[in-house]
């Protein structure tokens, strides 16, 4: 770099003064470092934006604006209502009359017509009827009903529906909003924790308020049981063979290549497999958690095999040698000594595989879990596996596909529940690893 | 007898066999287990294996074979001309099966006696009414031939079920007796048991091959079926995708492939720079504390289910882009679901794929190379750009290819975020659709599986499978071929 014949150039190349080229190089160095920091920050920003939008949009699903009303239904009214053709209509009329009277008594200032109440509370008739049909002894006594508000009113209180966007229609008028505001102030409409959302069943398209994730949680749980009871033994058996017994030959190579390729096959292709093999060919029931579980098992097996092999590999050979040395057979050495030592790692990998399977949606779309509305809980053990049901991610997709703000809110809320499950499973895996991991 | 009971009985026989075999072995040695060749448990296990394995094998084969056999018998018996125009034997058989199931349900809940269900005097009209009343799914009025077919279907299934039960129980008992007779002090029970366990292990490992075969066969059969009713030249040659369930569909794959490719390119332009720079920073610059928090945080992005990203695209990113590029902003965007929406969100999802894999690869470059470069006076960034990255390049290319195959196979984000219109357009703010999204939409309708509109999904699936498999194999090949060996 230095040239002895150029005295002048040498003077500029002092280590103490920074020349232009060094400045440029240092600037490039600093820029490069900043690029890296920006990339990390961008990634973390995306994470934060995602988390904030999930929480902000999903939390409202966990509360519901309810109307608390005390109602006394006499024996005669009950008999008369049951005698009518439109029974829930009759109950709704009774309710409206009673509620209107109560509001007048309380002296609410806003003028309202009785239909307004119907638009605010929706159709309370069915709830009231089913209560009294189950509890006939409550007739004639005051009973407090906790009724959900109509989804538009609920949306108005949660900020989903803005007053300036409301035009008078047969579903909602501005006067309704005034009345609803007043009811809220008087404490008749209260925001409560929405248990129905967590434990309830899916509802029809026109009743977003009553939709719940409960039935599909059961569906997901049944699927996870299938996945666990199939993929853990099969995955462990396959890994033990490949890691401990398999001779080095072309068949073993073929199996290994297959496993690593299956791990990279898009999940929707597994859905096609499930549709063709389990439903078209084997005539298993569509949308059944059993079929979903089978498909997800095939999908998670490569993940479980890869992690199980890693944990088998981490058990030092001295353990095997010691077991063989005291006269154990190869099989005994593996099953009595290596496997128990590798178990924490295997379980951790299995839990992570299960968490992946729990959030998987695409294959479930193809085996029909989406068109199905999970309107009922399964009524028994066999039914939980064989009868059509939905699963958490499929239910979220169904809600998202309904193109309705009220259902979008449910979908976000469902995502919170799904993520809570995933978080719990991952925490369990981390704890297992911390508690039982051994360094050799 | 329901299969579950049969399974339970055989399992009980196996457990009994274990106990019997163990005590017989001990008894034959006079209670002194040292006189036995193997530990007493192995004698028990031997009997249990001989009881369970053959009988379950027969049970499984029978369960698979019986429906196929019965269906082929019944469809052979169907009178000529029963298959209406535009329908197929499969559809008629489905109706026969539904009718048979319906009759079974009626018998089960007691509305119909078993004798009556099997008798030839059942009136089809009356039966249809009864089935509809009981809430059974019946497509149309049941005709006499279908009713007869359904009745013989039920009869054959019942006989088959009886025969299966008898045979399976017989085999289980035979195995039990055989295993018990074998039991003697000199019998090498451990070797036999370990041999069978080994076979079970091999069977479990072969499931991976079976799954691949299953995927390939299920795609292949239906794809061939599709190309029989729809010309392959149109599928690969036409530039329009317009399925209509009245027939006359145009099912060209190019708009879908273009949508897939366009979205993947956008996703990779987001994910690759961010992921790569993140990996470089984490492995070369970051302090230990930063690394141990930032890396797992970034990896959370990979653990989030894709349905979450789909919803995020549909409800957060789409409206956000609309505010800037939509009618209120620049006016390039017609609706929130567009190539850009799906591409951006997919890019976010892929960041950790690129960053984690690249991070591992950069870390695998030996420190001596960095030290050499730094010792020659290069700055840290010069070292990274001119020494570390070239050394890690094959691995990084492999990582990017894996991310690309992930992007091409991604379903939920494009189903929710990219729109449903199949078009060939250069505007990234147009709604387009992809191969995966169309697989979902063609297979989730109420169409029957025999129409080209449904079967095309299998051809699309085949295309997807081939492309992603090719990318994966290519990625592995690059990594293996150009990997520098430093040791």
- State yes or no: ipTM above 0.95: no
| Closest CB from B205, B208, B303 relative to A262 | B208
Contacting residues for B201 by C-beta, under 8 A, at least 6 apart: A237, A238, A240, A241, A245
Q: A400, B310: Cβ pair inside 8 Å?
A: yes
User: Would residue A48 count as lying in a domain?
Assistant: no
CA–CA distances in Å: residue A367 to residues A215, A217, A362, B265, B445: 18, 18, 9, 30, 11
A166 in the same domain as A223: no
Residue B447: predicted pLDDT: 59
**In this structure, are A298 and A390 located in the same domain?**
yes
Q: Which residue has the higher pLDDT, A208 or B431?
A: B431
- Whole-angstrom CA distances from A19 to A25, B203, B477 are 10, 71, 46
Of the candidate ranges A29-43, A177-191, A211-225, B11-25, the one whose mean pLDDT is the lowest: A177-191
Name the pLDDT band for B230 (thresholds 50, 70, 90).
confident
Question: Which CATH number characterizes residue A250's domain?
Answer: 1.10.3720.10
Per DSSP, the three-state class of B373 is helix
Three-class SS state of B194: helix
Q: Report d(CA A110, CA A183) in Å as an integer.
A: 10
| Averaged confidence pLDDT in chain A | 84
* pLDDT computed for residue B233 by the predictor: 86
The answer to whether A274 and A291 have CB atoms below 8 angstroms apart is yes
Report the C-alpha gap between B18 and A432 in whole angstroms.
34
User: What is the nearest CA distance from A78 to chain B, expressed in angstroms?
Assistant: 30
Which pLDDT score is estimated for A386? Answer: 82
> φ, ψ for residue B251 (rounded to 5)?
-120, 65
- Which 3 state secondary structure label does DSSP give A192? strand
Using an 8 Å CB-CB cutoff, list chain B residues near A255: 205-206, 208-209
CA B448, CA A158: separation in Å to the nearest integer? 43
pLDDT at B133 over 70: no
Q: Comparing A105 with B257, which gets the higher pLDDT?
A: B257
Phi, psi (rounded to 5 degrees) for B39: -65, 145
Q: Is residue A317 part of a domain?
A: yes
- How does residue A98 score in pLDDT terms, banded at 50, 70 and 90? confident
Measured CA to CA, the distance from residue A192 to residue A397 in angstroms comes to: 26
Q: Give the chain B residue whose CA is nearest to the CA of A419.
A: B304
> Which residue range(s) make up the domain with A177?
63-193
Region B253-276 average pLDDT: 93
Q: For residue B89, is pLDDT > 90?
A: no
Q: If you average pLDDT over residues B243-259, what whole number do you get?
A: 82
Domain shared by A68 and A178, yes or no: yes
- Chain B stretch 392-451, residues whose beta carbon is closer than 8 A to a beta carbon of chain A: 402, 405-406, 408-412, 415-416, 436, 439-440, 443-444, 449
Helices (H) and strands (E) in chain B, counts: 19, 2
User: Are A218 and A189 in a shared domain?
Assistant: no
In a domain, A6, yes or no: no
Please give the mean pLDDT across all residues of chain B: 85
Lowest mean pLDDT among A39-43, B97-101, B224-228, B361-365: B97-101
Residue A310 lies in a domain: yes
The phi and psi torsions of A193 (rounded to 5 degrees) equal -70, 135
Helix axes B254-280, B435-443, angle to 10 degrees: 130
Chain A residues whose beta carbon lies within 8 Å of the beta carbon of residue B294: 40, 43-44
Fold of B241-482: MetI-like fold (1.10.3720)
- Number of helices (H), then strands (E), in chain A: 20, 3
Which of these, A278, A172, A289, lies nearest to A228 by C-alpha position?
Answer: A289
Average pLDDT score over residue span B349-357: 92
Q: What's the confidence (pLDDT) of residue B332?
A: 78
Q: What is the pLDDT of residues A189-220, one digit of tens each?
A: 888 888 888 888 887 777 777 788 888 899 99
Q: Do B443 and A38 touch (CB under 8 A)?
A: no
Whether A237 and A353 share a structural domain? yes
In percent, the amount of chain B with pLDDT more than 90 equals 41
Closest residue of A to B402, CA-based?
A264
- Same domain, yes or no: A232 and A118: no
Do A160 and A235 have their domain in common? no
The Cα A411–Cα A398 span in angstroms is 8
**In this predicted structure, which of A78-92, A207-221, A278-292, B411-425 has the lowest mean pLDDT?**
A78-92
pLDDT recorded at residue A371: 66
Region(s) of chain B under CATH 1.10.3720.10: 241-482
Is residue A344 in a domain?
yes
Confidence at B177, pLDDT banded by 50, 70, 90: very high
CB atoms within 10 A of CB B367: 8
Output the pLDDT for position A149: 81
CB atoms within 10 A of CB B153: 23
Least confident of A147-151, B83-87, B114-118, B362-366: B83-87
Rounded distance, CA B393 to CA B478, Å?
Answer: 10
The answer to whether residues A248 and A362 belong to one domain is: yes
Would the pTM of this model clear 0.90, i.e. be above it? Answer: no
Closest CB from B190, B201, B212 relative to A237: B201
Q: How confident is the model at residue A110 (pLDDT cuts 50, 70, 90)?
A: low
Same domain? For A104 and A179 the reply is yes
Q: Does A225 lie in the same domain as A166? A: no
**With 90 as the cut, is the pLDDT of residue B109 above it?**
no
Query: Do A149 and A219 share a domain, yes or no?
Result: no
- Number of neighbouring beta carbons within 10 Å of residue B218: 22
Domains in chain A, number: 2
Tell me what the mean pLDDT of segment B2-16 comes to: 90
Angle ∠(B270,B273,B278) on CA atoms, nearest 5: 115
Give yes or no: residues A309 and A430 share one domain: yes
A105 falls within a domain: yes
């Amino acid at each position: 770099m230095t040239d002895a014949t150029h005295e002048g150039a040498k003077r500029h190349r002092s280590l103490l003064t920074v020349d232009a080229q060094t400045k440029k190089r240092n600037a490039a160095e600093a820029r490069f470092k900043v690029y890296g920091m920006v990339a990390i920050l961008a990634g973390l920003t995306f994470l934060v934006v995602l988390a904030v939008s999930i929480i902000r949009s999903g939390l409202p699903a966990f509360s519901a604006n309810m109307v608390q009303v005390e109602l006394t239904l006499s024996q005669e009214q009950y008999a008369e209502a049951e005698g009518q053709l439109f029974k829930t209509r009759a109950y709704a009329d009774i309710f409206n009359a009673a509620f209107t009277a109560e509001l007048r008594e309380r002296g609410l200032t806003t003028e309202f017509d009785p239909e307004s109440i119907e638009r605010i509370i929706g159709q309370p008739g069915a709830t009231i009827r089913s209560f009294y049909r189950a509890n006939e002894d409550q007739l004639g006594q005051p009973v407090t009903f906790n009724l959900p508000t109509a989804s538009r009113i609920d949306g108005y209180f949660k900020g989903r529906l803005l007053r300036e966007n409301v035009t008078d229609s047969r579903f909602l008028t501005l006067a309704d909003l005034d009345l609803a505001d007043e009811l809220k102030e008087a404490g008749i409409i209260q925001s409560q924790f929405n248990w129905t959302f967590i434990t309830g069943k899916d509802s029809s398209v026109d009743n977003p308020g009553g939709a719940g994730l409960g039935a599909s949680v059961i569906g997901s749980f049944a699927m996870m049981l299938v996945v666990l009871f199939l993929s853990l033994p099969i995955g462990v058996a396959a890994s033990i063979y490949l890691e401990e017994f398999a001779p080095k030959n072309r068949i073993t190579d073929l199996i290994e290549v297959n496993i690593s390729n299956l791990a990279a096959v898009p999940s929707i292709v597994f859905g096609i497999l499930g549709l063709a093999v389990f439903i078209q060919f084997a005539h298993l029931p569509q949308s059944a958690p059993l079929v979903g579980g089978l498909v997800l098992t095939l999908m998670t097996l490569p993940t479980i095999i890869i992690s199980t092999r890693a944990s088998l590999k981490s058990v030092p050979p001295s353990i095997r040698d010691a077991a063989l040395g005291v006269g154990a057979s190869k099989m005994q050495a593996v099953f009595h000594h290596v496997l128990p030592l590798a178990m924490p790692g295997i379980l951790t990998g299995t839990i992570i595989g299960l968490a992946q399977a729990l959030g998987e949606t695409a294959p479930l779309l193809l085996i029909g879990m989406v068109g199905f509305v999970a309107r009922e809980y399964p009524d028994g053990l066999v039914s939980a596996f064989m009868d059509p049901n939905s699963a958490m991610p499929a239910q979220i997709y169904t809600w998202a596909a309904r193109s309705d703000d009220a259902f979008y809110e449910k979908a976000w809320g469902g995502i919170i529940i799904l993520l809570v499950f995933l978080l719990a499973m991952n925490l369990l895996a981390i704890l297992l690893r911390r508690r039982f991991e051994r360094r050799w | 007898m329901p299969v579950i009971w049969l399974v339970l009985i055989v399992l009980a026989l196996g457990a009994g066999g274990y106990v019997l075999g163990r005590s017989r072995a001990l008894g034959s040695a006079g209670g002194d287990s040292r006189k036995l060749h193997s530990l007493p448990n192995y004698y028990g296990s031997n009997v249990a294996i001989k009881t369970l394995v053959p009988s379950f094998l027969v049970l499984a084969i029978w369960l698979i074979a019986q429906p196929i056999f019965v269906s082929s018998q019944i469809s052979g018996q169907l009178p000529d001309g029963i298959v209406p125009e535009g329908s197929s034997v499969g559809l008629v058989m489905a109706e026969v099966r539904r009718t048979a199931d319906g009759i079974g349900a009626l018998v089960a809940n007691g509305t119909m006696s078993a004798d009556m269900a099997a008798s030839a005097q059942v009136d089809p009209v009356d039966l249809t009414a009864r089935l509809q009343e009981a809430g059974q799914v019946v497509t149309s009025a049941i005709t006499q031939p279908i009713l007869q077919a359904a009745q013989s279907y039920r009869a054959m299934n019942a006989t088959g079920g009886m025969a299966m039960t008898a045979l399976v129980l017989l085999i289980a008992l035979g195995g039990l007796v055989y295993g018990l007779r074998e039991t003697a002090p000199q019998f090498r029970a451990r070797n036999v048991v370990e041999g069978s366990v080994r076979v079970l292990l091999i069977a479990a490992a072969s499931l991976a091959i079976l799954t691949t075969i299953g995927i390939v066969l299920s795609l292949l059969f239906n794809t061939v079926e599709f190309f029989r009713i729809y010309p392959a030249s149109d599928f690969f040659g036409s530039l329009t995708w317009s399925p209509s369930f009245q027939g006359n569909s145009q099912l060209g794959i190019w708009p879908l492939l273009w949508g897939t490719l366009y979205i993947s390119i956008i996703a990779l332009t987001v994910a690759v720079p961010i992921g790569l720079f993140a990996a470089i920073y984490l492995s070369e610059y970051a302090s230990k504390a930063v690394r141990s928090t930032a890396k797992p945080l970034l990896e959370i992005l990979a653990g989030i289910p894709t349905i979450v990203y789909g919803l995020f695209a549909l409800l957060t990113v789409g409206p956000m882009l609309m505010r800037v590029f939509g009618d209120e902003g620049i006016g390039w965007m017609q609706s929130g679901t567009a190539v850009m929406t799906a591409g951006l969100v997919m890019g976010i999802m892929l960041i950790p794929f690129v960053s984690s894999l690249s991070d591992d690869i950069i870390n695998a470059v030996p420190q001596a190379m960095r030290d050499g470069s730094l010792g020659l006076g290069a700055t840290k960034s010069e070292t990274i750009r001119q020494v570390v990255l070239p050394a890690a390049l094959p691995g990084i290319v492999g990582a990017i290819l894996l991310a690309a195959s992930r992007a091409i196979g991604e379903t939920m984000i494009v189903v929710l975020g990219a729109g449903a219109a199949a078009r060939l357009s250069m505007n990234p703010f147009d709604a387009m659709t992809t191969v995966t999204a169309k697989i979902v939409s063609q297979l989730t309708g109420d169409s029957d599986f025999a129409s080209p509109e449904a079967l095309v999904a299998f051809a699309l699936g085949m295309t997807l499978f081939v492309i992603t498999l090719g990318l994966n194999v290519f990625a592995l090949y690059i990594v293996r071929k150009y990997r520098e060996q430093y040791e």
